[in-house]
Amino acid sequence: MAIILFKNRTVRPLTGNFAVSEAMRQINPDVVAAYPITPQTEIMQIFSSFVSNGYVDSELITAESEHSALSACVGAAVSGARAMTATAGPGLALMWEILGIASGMRAPMVLQLVNRALSAPINIHCDHSDAMGARDQGWIQVFAEDAQEAYDHLIQSVKVAEKVYLPVMSCMDGFIVSHAIDRVSLLADEEVREFVGEYKYPYSMLSKTVTHGAIAMTDSYFEFKHQQRLAMDEVKKAVEEVSKEYKELLESQGNLKDWEIEKRVLKFVEPYKIEDAEIVLVAMGSAAGTIKYVIDKLREEGKKVGLLKIKIFRPFPYEEVSKYLENAKILGILDRAETFGGKGGPLLSEIITALYLKGIHKPIRNFIYGLGGRDFNINHVKEVINTLERTLKGENTPFLSYINLRKDYLDTLQK
Amino acid sequence: MWELGAVIPYPGNSEEYKTGNWRTFKPVLHTDKCINCMICFMVCPDSCIIVENGKMIGFDYDHCKGCGLCAYECPKDAIEMIKERG
Amino acid sequence: MIEIRWHGRGGQGAVTASKILSSAVIAEGSYSQSNPDYGAERSGAPLKTYNRVSKKPLTLHCMVTNPNIVIVIDPTLLDEVDILEGTDENAILIINTSMTPKEIREKYNIQGRKIYTLNATNIALEEIKRPATNIPMLGALVRVLYELEGIPKLETVEQEVIDTFGQKLSKEILEGNLRALKRGYSEIISE
């Protein structure tokens, strides 16, 4: 039995990667299979030391590629084992074939994605191209703003996955979150173990004779895909149940403030100062934190600015989104991924769909930012808000713009 | 039929799928020539050779597709392929 | 919120010192981030690493572009990198040098800003027997931060140094580091 490290709750200075490793240690999964890739490598390095020291009972499989690592997780999951893996950018790209197999076989598991740009040019830093490339593969996708959320999302994801028999991709921004030390509040080991409980899978290969991965041709494939759509419809209820339980756990010792608890509980969206906001930004991941800071400053100047942070991208919360965006005068959608040739980023498409479904039509601008880890700081948030203000005043502004392109590059476009 | 993820939750289900009507020729055993060497048993790709008490006693016509491997390999010509009645 | 930028060279321990600072602030119940500027790390190459320190929760997740405090742990960097980049005249500079703040101001023609100096190389050589300037400079930074924000206490930082190095260094070297930390805290020179 795994050694208990934290008998009590504790606050620690941890990088995102370390926080996620601690969550994995406390979850104590049966099987972990992975292949190293920056900026994820550290998670598996830390976790493998937990394995060596007997802090977990997990079987660690060091696969020869990400494709194999995820395949091992699928096999483990349908054998009735709680399986986990972690990867980043190109590693997720190599897993692509197995992503659909995991969700198609309804194998619940959790993948920690440390968001990284896709090549070429080769780049190790953050953007959301990896996750967005996999958005239609039948996985639940959760995005964290900081190390604390990454820790809490991972623990809750385990239960959500096992309720609906779907795999979950829990995402955090590479380097910005994964490699920065932040203040992370951890639960006690026993609390997490009790919360995640025992994994019970009805078709375990180890407990009875079953066929997994059977062929399904024109006569039946279609129905199984329909089942996956129905399963995604169940996610809302599952998230509500799991987050309610997690909230009760967080509240149980009375040592956490209300805002801390609200932040740590898994939700589809997090509105920030949105009630009376005329200008509303929509964003995912670490950028949301920077935007909140700017909103606080601008609110002091009397500007009515708000944010809608999307925490769960798949299944996309269309109803909640349209409800929160209904009253804004203008929207700024921030995408950390491209769709080259599409009208804008992937988040833009979803927001427009959400609005259309409610018959809402209002000014909207799309901003592509932070590809390959390009900094997105206070000034850039202000630039976005300024563009939206000018648009509201009737000025002609582009529908889509890239934020923080280099000046020397822009100069070449003038020629 | 519609188990999650196309799982088939019970074993041996391929037996339920009858392939006997795929045949054009069907094997017939001449017991007088058969020496029970079990070569047909080993080569049959569909496990259609019925054996009882160490003796070859006939064919599982529900699943035999009539490939003729058993007849081809029989060292004593004890298996004959005859045309199915149309 | 105080934003800090460290200038050092690969292998001099700026990143480690920055992590110790964040750990100490968090241990006291406040908020801090420590974020190295990742690129191609090479021993001896100039590098930057950043901290944010605050009594309130931090939500910023961008690079520190306008630091309140710039700390330079290697004097040779003064001629090589723009240590004033992104700072305004209210910024604080803490520099490892044998010169006085006045001499630095004149030599580099620095307008405004508050300059502190510390002969960290000397302290490191005397106490640790090698030019590990990160820890004495951390001591100097803690003094400035404590005067500004009231966090972190020197004792908390001492404990973090023990936690960070206790397993890795001999007792003698660890004690040298602790003496260097305290000397940095007390020997810092202001204008």
Residue B17 near chain A (CB below 8 Å): no
Q: Phi/psi of residue A185, each to 5°?
A: -100, 120
- CA-closest candidate to residue B27, choices B75, B73, B59: B59
Closest CA of chain A from C55, distance in Å: 12
CATH tag for B29-79 (out of 3.30.70.260, 3.40.50.720, 3.30.70.20, 3.40.50.1100) = 3.30.70.20
Are A210 and B2 a contacting pair at CB < 8 A? no
Cis link prior to A13 (omega < 30° from 0)?
A: no
Who contacts A202 (Cβ-Cβ below 8 Å, separation ≥6)?
Answer: B4
CB of C96 within 8 A of CB of C72? Answer: yes
Closest residue of B to A223, CA-based?
B2
pLDDT (tens digit, 9 = 90+) per residue, C9-20? 988 999 999 999
pLDDT (tens digit, 9 = 90+) per residue, A73-115? 999 999 999 999 999 999 999 999 999 999 999 999 999 999 9
- The answer to whether the complex's ipTM is over 0.90 is no
Residue C40 pLDDT > 90: no
* pLDDT the model gives residue A378: 96
Residue C38 pLDDT > 80: no
CB of B19 within 8 A of CB of B63? Answer: yes
Domains of chain A: 10-251 (3.40.50.970), 270-414 (3.40.50.920)
Question: Average pLDDT in the C151-169 region?
Answer: 94
Size (chain B), residues: 86
Closest CA of chain B from A301, distance in Å: 55
CB of A174 within 8 A of CB of A116? Answer: yes
Are B4 and A227 a contacting pair at CB < 8 A? yes
* pLDDT the model gives residue C49: 95
- Write down the mean pLDDT value for chain C: 94
pLDDT (tens digit, 9 = 90+) per residue, A152-163? 999 999 999 999
Q: Which residues of C22-55 are buried (b: 16+ CB within 10 A; e: fewer)?
A: bbbbbbbebbbbbbbebeeeeeeeebbbbbbbbe
At B86, is the pLDDT very low, low, confident or very high (cuts 50, 70, 90)?
A: low
Question: Average pLDDT in the C113-141 region?
Answer: 96
Radius of gyration of chain B (CA): 15
At C32, is the pLDDT very low, low, confident or very high (cuts 50, 70, 90)?
A: very high
Question: Average pLDDT in the A397-408 region?
Answer: 97
Cβ contacts of B5 on chain A, cutoff 8 Å: 78, 104-107, 165, 203, 212, 224
- CA-closest candidate to residue A86, choices A149, A20, A30, A159: A20
Domains of chain C: 2-190 (3.40.920.10)
Cβ contacts of C65 on chain A, cutoff 8 Å: 375, 377, 379
Alpha-carbon distance values, A1 to A4, A28, A237, A330, C54 (Å): 9, 10, 33, 55, 40
CB of A141 within 8 A of CB of A131? Answer: yes
pLDDT (tens digit, 9 = 90+) per residue, A343-399? 999 999 999 999 999 999 999 999 999 999 999 999 999 999 999 999 999 999 999
Are B6 and A210 a contacting pair at CB < 8 A? no
Percent of chain A with pLDDT over 70: 100
Residue A145 near chain C (CB below 8 Å): yes
Are A181 and C35 a contacting pair at CB < 8 A? yes
Who contacts A110 (Cβ-Cβ below 8 Å, separation ≥6)?
Answer: A84, A154, A157, A158, A161, A167, A168, A170
Percent of chain A with pLDDT over 90: 96
- Write down the mean pLDDT value for chain A: 97
Indicate contact of C with A: 3+ CB pairs under 8 A: yes
Token digits of residue B4: 């999650």
- CA-closest candidate to residue A312, choices A145, A87, A114: A145
How crowded is the C-beta side of B23, counted as CA atoms within 13 Å?
A: 25
Domain boundaries of chain B, sorted by first residue: 29-79
Percent of chain C with pLDDT over 70: 98
Q: Which of A104, A208, A209 sits opposite B5 (nearest CB)?
A: A104
* pLDDT the model gives residue A206: 86
Closest CA of chain B from A209, distance in Å: 6
3-class SS of residue A172? strand
CB of A203 within 8 A of CB of A78? Answer: yes
pLDDT (tens digit, 9 = 90+) per residue, B45-77? 999 999 999 999 999 999 999 999 999 999 999
Q: What is the pTM of this model?
A: 0.91
Who contacts A175 (Cβ-Cβ below 8 Å, separation ≥6)?
Answer: A39, A124, A125, A126, A373, C38
* pLDDT the model gives residue C41: 66
Who contacts A267 (Cβ-Cβ below 8 Å, separation ≥6)?
Answer: A239, A243, A311, A312
Who contacts A341 (Cβ-Cβ below 8 Å, separation ≥6)?
Answer: none
Are B7 and A165 a contacting pair at CB < 8 A? no
- Look up residue A252 and give its DSSP letter: T
> For residue C92, what is the enclosing H or E element?
strand C92-96
Residue A92 near chain B (CB below 8 Å): no
* pLDDT the model gives residue B48: 96
